[in-house]
Amino acid sequence: MDLLKFALILNFTIIMVLPVPVYIEILKSRNIGNVILSHCNRNIIESQKNLIANNIRSVFLANSTDLSNLSYAKVGFILDTHCESWNQIFNVVDERFFRGPFTWLVNTDDLNSTVDVLSKYPIDINSDFIVITKNRKVFNLYEVYSKGFYTNGSFIVRDLGHFDSELHLKRNIRADLTGVVLKCVVVIVDPIVNETFEHYLENTSPGKLIDSVHKLKFFRLMKYLQNIYNFSLMLQRTNSWGYLRNGSFDGLVGSLQRRDADIGGSSIFYRSDRLKIIDYVTSTWQTRHCFILRHPKYPGGFYTIYTGPLTDIVWYWILFVLTLAGLVTCIMLKIRAIKRPGDDEDSSSSMALIFIFSAISQQGTTLNRGSISIKIVTFVTFIFTLTLYQYYNATVVSTLLREPPKTIRNLKDLLESNLKVGVEDVLYNKDHFRRTTDAVTLELYHKKIVTGKEYNFFKPDHGMRLVKAGGFAYHIDSIIGYRIMRNTFTEREICDAHEIYLYPPQKMAVTLQKNSPYREHVVIGIQKIYESGLMYRLKSVWDEPKPQCVHTPDSSVFSVSLREFSSVLIMLALGMVLSVSILFLEIIVGRYKVKVYDFCH
């Protein structure tokens, strides 16, 4: 039935005086300047004049009334139960008009029968319905509401105050939700073994379980709210926070959308697509997801221990200077004019090469020449190589012993490093890679996480074992990662740990059905929990702090392992293989070399 039909049902034959002064005072106390009147009373024009005189605009609930386009933030409805079929308006208006900021004033002579009629409609705890009855010269005011029309809540009639010559209102407190049963959906993705779902939620203590995304911590928050307002919870379990599947949401969000649940039992991320179908009530905690890795001491490889002290341009200049010194020495050795008696007879190019190598390795030289020019070249070359040798050795040693600089600082650095990458096998991580448009993130995903040969989504225990072994970066909720680190990592491994954000820390939120009547209760309740310090206590009890890096003088911390020494050993092995190969080649050549015989006559 629409409003046009309702307007025709009203009976215009009753004549009585409406309690306009009461209406005016109540509307003023709620800062309402616009009202809609039902006009089965012939004195309605006079009532409207009184309202206008008090700056309250009013319209008749007649054929021209269209509530669907109502644009005022606060509107009052005035009903008179003396009108025939006065309650038909409740059948034609949307339920949103039953909630604040809309105020309903109902004038009646029979409180009980009026309450019986009102109790059949979804006048929830966040509504503002006032029933007005007259007792001689005093008007009694009653607020009526249901603790939960859809949640087994009782219908309440409460004395709100009275009006004689002035308005006397009592404090409006609706904190008692006794008897209300809220269906609460909790996200639990891990298997529950040898216990019921309710026992798992009620009795799991901190330290026995890794609480990813604050699931159990948030359930404790729900228990605090339950103690504040005295409602009951009907627990339900789901394995998803709510993601679009074939055009509709699954998991927690889907349950709230379908009204299978009243409140979310797990906190979830803020997302614009969810905002259309559920209400984000208030923020709770911040969750931090990041890549945890043991930062490599030598990101470019262990050979960089020996190449790192000098830049490429310096290496090129050193090579150029030594080559020039070798060439000058070689030329001088071959000039006969500067030879002196007693000089070595060897003037080959290999002698110049051996001289340069001896200078670099600080081994001295067997070059014995009396020429002053050759002595100057020898002296200058040794001074150059001595200075270079001292600086280079000191830099290599300090590089081995000092804490390595953190060169992998962001996703781009991680992508370009030689580290392998993995991600916690959980729905929100997969959804992030599916929705993101960040070019670096997508390239990282396709090159290092999901490739043709690898699918690097791992459970936390396995992923953190790979991090412990080194050369691996694992994206995980920091609460999980920190607890595994504390239990399994050594002091040195904890000090090597480094973090890189895939996305900034996210705020988690409490969720309700769209337009839930309990929104204000949840907001106020959580604010009280914040003010009492219980939110901080929950965080300190359930969240694992980051393990502290403790530097000790233990020699194991400052030791040089075989991995750092491996480049020199490889060079030595290659040299030995090369020398043995040349040895065999010389033997073969010598065996088949043509022998020359001298014949004697």
Tens of pLDDT, residue by residue over 157-183, are 999 999 988 889 888 788 888 889 999
End of a domain among 113, 134, 169? 169
Place of tokens 């007693």: 342
Output phi, psi for 553, to 5 deg.
-80, 10
Query: How high is the pLDDT of residue 475?
Result: 95
- Which stretches of 402-446 are DSSP H helices? 411-416, 427-435, 439-444
Quick one: 190 and 316 in the same domain? no
Percent of the chain past pLDDT 70, that is, above it, reads 83
CATH of the domain at 502: 3.40.190.10
Query: Which is it for the CA torsion 245, 249, 226, 529, positive or negative?
Result: positive
**Is 465 within a domain?**
yes
Query: How high is the pLDDT of residue 252?
Result: 93
Q: Is the pLDDT of residue 406 over 60?
A: yes
Quick one: 322 and 343 in the same domain? yes
Provide the number of structural domains found in the chain. 5
Q: Is 590 helix (H, G, I), strand (E, B) or coil?
A: helix
When the pLDDT of each residue in the chain is averaged and rounded to a whole number, the result is 82
Query: How high is the pLDDT of residue 312?
Result: 81
Span 505-528, pLDDT tens digits: 988 899 999 989 999 999 999 999
Element containing residue 318 per DSSP (H, E): helix 312-334
Q: Is 458 helix (H, G, I), strand (E, B) or coil?
A: strand
Span 252-297, pLDDT tens digits: 999 999 999 999 998 899 998 898 899 999 998 888 899 999 988 7
24-33, 81-90, 365-374, 560-569: lowest mean pLDDT where?
A: 560-569
* Residue range of the domain that includes 234: 181-286
Query: Are the beta carbons of 423 and 449 closer than 8 angstroms?
Result: yes
Q: How many CA atoms lie within 13 A of 62 on its CB side?
A: 9
Tell me which amino acid residue 163 is: F
Quick one: 281 and 155 in the same domain? no
Tokens standing for residue 86:
């006065």
Q: Is 41 helix (H, G, I), strand (E, B) or coil?
A: strand
Q: Categorize the per-residue pLDDT at 70 as very low, low, confident or very high, splitting at 50, 70 and 90.
A: low
115-129, 191-205, 340-354, 554-568: lowest mean pLDDT where?
A: 554-568
Quick one: 317 and 220 in the same domain? no
Query: Are the beta carbons of 78 and 37 closer than 8 angstroms?
Result: yes
**Is 174 within a domain?**
no
Span 226-237, pLDDT tens digits: 999 999 999 999
Q: Is the pLDDT of residue 554 over 60?
A: no
18-22, 236-240, 264-268, 544-548: lowest mean pLDDT where?
A: 18-22
Quick one: 448 and 533 in the same domain? yes
Alpha carbon distance 474, 494 (integer Å): 15
Quick one: 195 and 59 in the same domain? no
Cα–Cα distances in Å, from 157 out to 121, 272, 369, 378, 401?
14, 39, 119, 109, 78
**Is 5 within a domain?**
no
Provide the strand spans (E) within 115-187. 129-135, 138-146, 155-163, 167-169, 181-187
**Is 296 within a domain?**
no
Place of tokens 């966040």: 126
Cis peptide upstream of residue 101 (ω within 30 degrees of 0):
yes
Q: How many residues does the chain have?
A: 601
Q: Is the pLDDT of residue 9 over 50?
A: no
Query: How high is the pLDDT of residue 600?
Result: 60
Quick one: 48 and 108 in the same domain? yes
Q: Categorize the per-residue pLDDT at 53 as very low, low, confident or very high, splitting at 50, 70 and 90.
A: confident
Query: Are the beta carbons of 458 and 474 closer than 8 angstroms?
Result: yes
Mean pLDDT over 414-439 rounds to 91
Alpha carbon distance 117, 157 (integer Å): 13
DSSP string spanning 241-292? Answer: S--EETTEE-HHHHHHHTTS-SEESS-EE--HHHHTTEEEEEEEEEE-EEEE
Mean pLDDT over 194-207 rounds to 78
Query: Are the beta carbons of 440 and 412 closer than 8 angstroms?
Result: yes
Quick one: 56 and 145 in the same domain? yes
**Is 4 within a domain?**
no
**Is 600 within a domain?**
no
CATH of the domain at 153: 3.40.50.2300
Quick one: 267 and 335 in the same domain? no
End of a domain among 228, 256, 286? 286
**Is 76 within a domain?**
yes
Alpha carbon distance 291, 442 (integer Å): 15
Quick one: 28 and 162 in the same domain? yes
Query: Are the beta carbons of 246 and 168 closer than 8 angstroms?
Result: no
Quick one: 227 and 127 in the same domain? no
Query: Are the beta carbons of 509 and 282 closer than 8 angstroms?
Result: yes
pTM for this one?
0.73
End of a domain among 348, 369, 401? 401
Listed residue (12, 84, 88, 78) closest to 48, CA to CA: 78
Query: How high is the pLDDT of residue 439?
Result: 93
Query: How high is the pLDDT of residue 513?
Result: 92
Q: Is the pLDDT of residue 62 over 60?
A: no
Alpha carbon distance 282, 270 (integer Å): 10
Quick one: 453 and 551 in the same domain? yes
Query: How high is the pLDDT of residue 104?
Result: 92
Query: How high is the pLDDT of residue 553?
Result: 53
Query: How high is the pLDDT of residue 510?
Result: 93
Alpha carbon distance 497, 440 (integer Å): 23
**Is 2 within a domain?**
no
Query: How high is the pLDDT of residue 10?
Result: 38
Query: How high is the pLDDT of residue 418?
Result: 87
Element containing residue 333 per DSSP (H, E): helix 312-334
